[in-house]
Amino acid sequence: MKKLKIGWFIQNVNILSASARYRCFYPAIALSEKSFESVFFTREGEVIKALDDLDALVVVKRIDFATLSVVSEAYRLGKPVYLDICDDILAPGYRARPGPWRLAVFCACIPYLNALVVPSPMMANRLKEYMNEYSSGAVPVKVVRDVAETNATVKSAAKFMSSHSQKGRKKSAWARILSFILVTTKLKSQPLSTKELLTTLDAEESQPAPATPAKGRKKILWFGNYGSSHSNFGIVSLLSAVPALEAINRAIPLELVVVSNSKEIFDAVIGQLGIPATYHPWSFAAMTQALRSADVALLTSGNDKFSKIKSSNRALQALAAGVPVVATSNEALAELGDCIVLDDYDAGLRRYLGPEGAEHIKSDLEKYRAIAKRYSIETTQNEWASILKADFKKTKAALEGNTLIVLTKESAKHLNSEKLNHLIETEKDADFLLDTEFLNKNSSMLHVFLEREILPSVVTSGDLVRGAPSRLETARRLILSLNRTRVSATFAKEAESRGVEILDLNTYCIMKGGPAHNETTGIPSDNAPAQKWVFVTHQNTKGWILDAICREIGSRQPDPWKVVYNPPKLPESENYFFSHYSLYLKHWRKNKTDICGKKTFIWHTHPREDSPEEIQELVTAFNEATKIIFACSEHYRLWVERGMNPDKGALILGGADPELFKHHERKGKVVGLSSAFYQRKNPDLLYALVKQRPDWEFILLGRNWEQYRKFDELRNSPNFEYVTAPYSEYPEYYSRFDILLSASKIEGGPIPLLEAMMSNVVPVSSKTGFAPDLIRHGENGYLFDIDAAPADVVKLIELALDLKTDVRATVIDYSWNNFAKQILDLSR
């Protein structure tokens, strides 16, 4: 079998580079065992010449004009392209270099990428924010976690690169001259050769474990990059742990060991504090020795935006070496929360250094070993192979295949003659496959095909199911009604296995079935605004809830309107509705003339972690808007406290469709959740409840929960069901719920809470978003504090299961009609 060839475009092929090891060499090693071959490039010209021979291209931690040139050429040739970013290199001031050009290149690369690849969900969210705010397009963001690095993984990387780096490569004259100078002058800065590195690692491993120093001081290890001008991570972050170190040193003599790359910074920050401390320049040998002799790894980090999304690789390296960890928390480290101590440096150090330290260390390392497979070469192999193989199939289909539209009896619910005509017009080269029951449901559909002179394939339901594999052989895209029928399930499963893009016919008809009521699609008149309302939303919300909300509002008023997706310049209008305040802020900063003298309405769901300067800018911008429409009273009060004029705010809680989400009788013990995965959704509470109450059935309706650190254990629980379904099927699942659990730590809504209550489901919710505005505790639901213990939530669910209230009746007025009317009334 021919191996698929992956090209890796990186800054330098250097085993000493951590980002090269974690994000390039280890994935390449993993893929080499899955019928993939890797080739490495550092120069633009080299990779462009080789593109014809490559099956895919991965660019690792570089965003420059060479990257743009390479990815655009790869795209032109039909090659899958990925950009792997392990740090927030788009942050202002990154490495003291001007940032705007890098952000511009990032946005320019987006149309050519199959996906962005990152080491943590938090980093994924950060890149999504950049795309939302600065890019007119968006791509999927895939999470491939860092490997837990050990001497064994470093040695494997060194051997692997030794066998690959010389393939087909000749040193330039300058490279040969430089090598001669380095050898003859024996410069101390010369990096180790692969042979020397392997010899060093072998020697360290053969050494016996270091004896405890005679003076008996416990060794506290900190290691990592010394820091940077754009962030407060690095050695300086140790200052946050100084009070704990000083207090513990008085009771338990200790020594702080720092392995880093700046003795000057160490002397300036740590050397003057009076804590016993030693410094070792970073090297593999120094790290090996330090980990072998450490009692605890104290891994402090900064508290700014850049630091909060750094990966967990330092903690993983320590744990893999058998060293317990006390660290500054961030999103990536939260995944290790059961086996390390976060933020409480004093308690953490005493836990591991105190009288019962050995027991705690044994217990926490056992917890780490139970989840260590997540950070293994094998997991990296499976994650990357899954990404690549799916896109190989999609790319092949896109180059060679067509669109297949399957129409069954379920399709008749979403189609009429007008929409079918528009579907045929939109998908000019599509193949149509019809079930006889589709024609039986509406015979007028056959006349559409006759008038269009299109000859579809017509088969029975049984033949439709049996023929799915053969019909999808040449398809690049499949459009059908996604539901729980046998036909739909068979086609969807077969398409997914082949990497064929799947579109739900219902969603497609909503989004592309022709203009909605009074929606403007033509060219504006010179005499007057083309529309009364313009709704502004992000490109990656197209077809999702924010896009749908804009359309719900627009279609419920008599004047011309239009939805636009974050354009550089806004079309002319009397009223502008921004679905997120970042969109308003962008145009307020750059294009004030577009909105000057117009009415501007900003929908605010929940705040981000903004700096004091950003908050002040937002207050100023909000006070210049017509109205800020808050989804809950909690955030309305917050912005008034921050300085927003109270008259600029309006409270409108959201809506649901009472015709879609209908009343059902509660009759069991089914606890439902409806949510995409984010760490702020408090997944650990769900996990605890599933384990504590095996007699309850839990249904999680959502997406991206595979990113949760305990997802495998959760999915294997017999009382737990995970469902990813199209939005059109949500009412069906809500009709199975007795309880809707909403456990988020911060929310603007959530809208699913209102949808579930409209379906007569009893809500048990954290006190965030509009939950306190909708729920009357003990009457139509129950509320709990965001940090409530699982046992307290269990008690509330038990009460909710006995509640007899008609919950739907308490929220029936919160329809989309009323929601839209309240917003439209603000402009009058």
Question: Within 13 A of 452's CA, how many CA atoms are on the CB side?
Answer: 21
pTM greater than 0.75 (yes/no): no
The dotted CATH code for 531-651 is 3.40.50.2000
Between residues 727 and 76, the one the model is more confident about:
76
Query: CA-CA distance, 419 to 408, in Å (whole number)?
Result: 15
Task: From 728, 726, 702, select the one nearest 715 (Cα to Cα).
Answer: 702
| pLDDT given at position 67 | 92
Residues 132 and 127: their CA atoms lie apart, in Å, by 9
Max mean pLDDT range (28-32, 121-125, 128-132): 28-32
pLDDT at res. 172: 46
Write down the domain spans for the chain. 4-164, 173-205, 209-375, 401-512, 531-651, 670-811
What's the pLDDT band for 543 if we cut at 50, 70, 90?
low
> HEC string of 202-214?
HHHHHCCCCCCCC
Among 728, 721, 669, which Cα is nearest to 700's?
Answer: 721
pLDDT reported for residue 415: 79
As beta bridge partners, residue 764 has 741, 782
User: The tokens of 654 are what?
Assistant: 């959201």
Residues in the chain: 828
Nearest one of 531, 599, 592 to 563, comparing CA atoms: 531
Tokens coding 442: 């509406």
Distances (CA, A) of 561 to 469, 555, 556, 571, 626: 43, 8, 10, 11, 18
Cα 491 to its chain centre, rounded Å, is 28
461: Cβ contacts below 8 Å, ≥ 6 apart? 408, 435, 436, 437, 486, 487
- In the chain, % of residues over pLDDT 90: 32
Tokens 């990152």 -> residue: 118
Beta bridge partners of 11: none
DSSP-assigned beta bridge partners for residue 257:
221, 278
Kindly indicate whether the domain formed by 670-811 is annotated with CATH number 3.90.1300.10: no
Predicted confidence band of residue 171 (pLDDT cuts 50, 70, 90): very low
Asked whether residue 191 carries a pLDDT value surpassing 60, the answer given is no
Cα separation, 819 vs 602, in Å, equals 14
Structure tokens at 748: 């603007």
The answer to whether 477 touches 400, Cβ cutoff 8 Å, is no
Fold category of 401-512 in CATH: Rossmann fold (3.40.50)
Residue 318 has pLDDT above 90, yes or no: yes
**Of residues 176 and 541, which shows the higher confidence score?**
541
N-to-C CA span, the chain: 69
DSSP at 193: P
pLDDT, mean of residues 438-465: 82
pLDDT for 809 equals: 95
Give the pLDDT score at 121: 80
Shared fold status for 4-164 and 531-651: yes
CA 705 to chain CA centroid, Å, is: 10
Q: Using an 8 Å Cβ cutoff, are 634 and 768 in contact?
A: yes
Distances (CA, A) of 443 to 411, 431, 488: 13, 19, 22
CA-to-CA separations, 673 to 669, 721, 730, in angstroms, rounded: 13, 10, 11
Structure tokens at 76: 């032109």
How far apart (Å, rounded) are the C-alpha atoms in residues 324 and 362? 9
pLDDT tens readout for residues 207-223: 555 444 445 789 999 99
Q: What is the pLDDT of residue 78?
A: 84
d(CA 303, CA 231): 9
Whether the per-residue pLDDT at 186 is higher than 50: the answer is: no
434 and 407 Cβ atoms separated by less than 8 Å: yes
**200 vs 558, higher pLDDT:** 558
Distance CA 515, CA 663 (A): 31
Which tens digits make up the pLDDT trace of 722-762? 988 777 788 889 999 999 999 988 777 788 999 999 999 99
Q: Is the pLDDT of residue 540 over 70?
A: no
Top-confidence residue, 190 or 649: 649
Residue-wise pLDDT tens digits, 595-619: 877 899 999 987 776 778 888 999 9
Residue 116 confidence class, pLDDT cut points 50, 70, 90:
very high
- So what's the pLDDT on residue 189? 40
Give tens-digit pLDDT for 475-498: 778 888 877 678 888 888 888 777
**Among candidates 159, 129, 133, which has minimal Cα distance to 141?**
129
Tokens 């890098």 locate to 102
Label the pairing between strands 762-766 and 739-742. Answer: parallel
- Predicted local confidence at residue 187, as pLDDT: 35
| Predicted confidence (pLDDT) at residue 529 exceeds the cutoff of 70 | no
Residue 311 or residue 73, greater confidence = 73
| Structure confidence at residue 702 as a pLDDT band (50, 70, 90) | confident
Give residues with Cβ within 8 angstroms of 597, minimum separation 6. Answer: none
Q: What is the pLDDT of residues 397-413, one digit of tens each?
A: 444 557 889 998 888 77
Homologous superfamily (CATH) of 209-375 is: Glycogen Phosphorylase B; (3.40.50.2000)
Rounded-to-integer distance, Cα 5 and Cα 696, Å: 49
Question: In which element (H, E) is residue 723 found?
Answer: strand 720-723
CATH number of 4-164: 3.40.50.2300
Both structure tokens of 272: 């003057």
Residue 267 has pLDDT above 50, yes or no: yes
Q: For 212-273, give the DSSP string.
A: PPTT-PEEEEEES---BTTBS-SGGGGGGGHHHHHHHHHHS-EEEEEEES-HHHHHHHTTTS
Give the position of tokens 């580079």. Answer: 17
Q: What pLDDT shows up at residue 199?
A: 64
CB proximity list for 456: less than 8 A, separation 6 or greater: 431, 432, 433, 434, 449
Average pLDDT over residues 695-702: 93
Split at pLDDT 50, 70, 90, the class of 348 is: very high
